[in-house]
Amino acid sequence: MKKGIMIIGHGSRYNYNKWVMEEQKKRLEAKGFENIYIGFNETTLPHADDVLKDMASDGVDEVVAIPFFIASGLHITRDIPEKLGIPHGSGGAVVEVGGKKINIRYEQPFGNDPALADILSERIEELSSGKGKRGIIVIGHGSRLPFNKETVTFQADRLREKGYENVACAFNEFDEPHIETAFDEMVSNGMEEVIVLPLFISLGAHLKHDVPQKVHLRDGAAEDRLVLDGREVTVKYAMPVGSDPRLTDIIADKIEGKART
């Protein structure tokens, strides 16, 4: 049996999502994994269903499909399974592709993995000046389904368990509180330094344009000192988590069928 791995990204009109996935693919290959393919749900090519056809043509009999997403949502529960021929709510299926039967195991996003809180914690330590009252905002994309909010809330709780204070959650769209609301509350509560932590896989339109505006940063600025409510407030904007090597370890465990807690 020939085993293949498909890492599935969201896709974006920017190339960041693709670059991050290619970086993770190289790391997996360095760990000895073979037959690694990259596909996307939308916008970026190749799409996941076309990649599955390529895998079938290459003689792959067994596929581990890994969504390169932080949290579940409509893409994970509906769109990607439909592209792969997996029944709704199933963890996999035997599908026929080009006259060949392929056994697909469909994994879940990174979600509640403890490595995410470790990555966020390191971002905080790297960005903190140690001066003044500090606030931390963990931001998510938001979703019509509950999974993104649950994941962001879970990771924020883990930061509190690590001893961090003044930790808030916020969302770019769909869920509440919105980023503007959480940021304004931080300022109203006297924070002198606000660290914004995107719980996102990669840069894209939201992180490049939407979020900076909502926290009073100029496009492309990772840090700025602002005068808000008559006080100086320093805003620091972290990079997303998708390129971190610890995500490579999470993917490797998923490939090998190892549960992480």
By annotation, the residues acting in catalysis are: 141
Q: How would you label 119-151 residue by residue, b for 16+ Cβ within 10 Å and e otherwise?
A: bbbebbeebeeeeeebbbbbbbbbbebebbbbb
Cβ–Cβ < 8 Å for 136, 167: yes
| Alpha helix (H) residue ranges in the chain | 16-30, 48-57, 74, 80-84, 114-127, 147-161, 179-188, 205, 211-214, 245-255
CA 128 remoteness from chain centre: 23
Sole residue written with tokens 């006297």:
190
Strands 92-97 and 62-67: unpaired
